[in-house]
A and B are shown apart, each in its own frame.
Chain A
Amino acid sequence: MATTALFFVFAGLAIACAISMVYHKNPLYSAISLIGVFVSLSVLYVTLAAPFIAAVQILIYAGAIMVLVVFVIMLLNMEEDKPLNRLRYLYAIGGGLGLILLVQTFFVFYAVMRAPKQAVNTEETIGKTMSIGTAMYTEYLLPVEIVGILLLMAIIGGVILVRKLSQPQMESMVERELERRHEGEDKDDYRIAL
């Protein structure tokens, strides 16, 4: 009973925070709403008897990824989102896509509701850290190593992307680029902030 109450409270909170994230124009408000979604999802993982995933959700999503996002928002000092000034048909596409996905969701809901009841396996040891760790380093060792290589690639890619070339090097690169686009009709366009 308590689980059901927790589910409804935090499901409602997650949906409200998600809507507020899409609704707010200020990226910082969106980020804080998204942290609300992550925390409510973490509570839902606890109701699903997955305490390890709940802890990792807070540590990685709310602790690492969102801090990075908020840091970038502060660093770039962005203005508020402009209203959609062109491509108005995007509203139609977005609304249609949302409608299709919602219909699909309710179809899945009814299909699963009407399916013959299976005996729910309420074994509580599944979500424990030890069983996850055992499975991770025996049966699923290859995916774990692939993820390790992926993270290494992300580190190298991030460093190369954000690396700032030294000023003379950067300027000579821009000069070469402008020469290549003969006589630089839109010179001013590319030189901002270099």
Chain B
Amino acid sequence: MEPSLASYLALSGILFTIGAVGVIFKRNAIGMFMCIELMLNAVNLTFVAFSRYYADVTGQLFVFMVMSVAAAEAAVGLGIIISFFRNRVSVDVDDASILKN
């Protein structure tokens, strides 16, 4: 006997919720970045679960695409964080206020 599709979807929804709330609560840029990774992983779990229950390989293929996008995001996002740190000596998103005035 296998766990049902609904339980995988519930787990994915809970992980997505934790990630979304974390993005709002975290103040440092790397913490927000990790919460975004968590949300991407929750979506990946949904893809694989549907791929299993409809016996279709497309879902697993698009998990692969999502992972590539996450890798690209990591490269560019961490580059932005490093150059921000170089100018401001902080990774707190509240310090990113040059455009405010």
Contact = CB atoms under 8 A, between A and B. Distances in A.
Interface residues of B, number: 76
B82 A76 contact: yes
A109 B1 contact: no
Contacts of B4: 112-113
B48 A50 contact: yes
Given A90-B24, A151-B71, A154-B71, A102 B53 contact: no
B15 A37 contact: yes
Nearest to B7: A7
B96 interface: no
Given A4-B3, A73-B30, A151-B71, A108 B24 contact: no
Interface in A142-156: 143, 147, 150-151, 153-155
Contacts, number: 241
Interface residues of A, number: 88
Interface in A86-126: 86-87, 90-91, 93-95, 97-98, 101-102, 104-106, 108-110, 112-113, 118, 120-121, 123, 126
Interface string B80-100: 111101111101101000000
Interface in B1-49: 1-11, 13-22, 24-28, 30-31, 33-35, 37-38, 41, 44-45, 48-49
Contacts of B18: 15, 18-19, 21-22
Interface of B: 1-11, 13-22, 24-28, 30-31, 33-35, 37-38, 41, 44-45, 48-49, 51-58, 60-65, 67-76, 78-83, 85-89, 91-92, 94
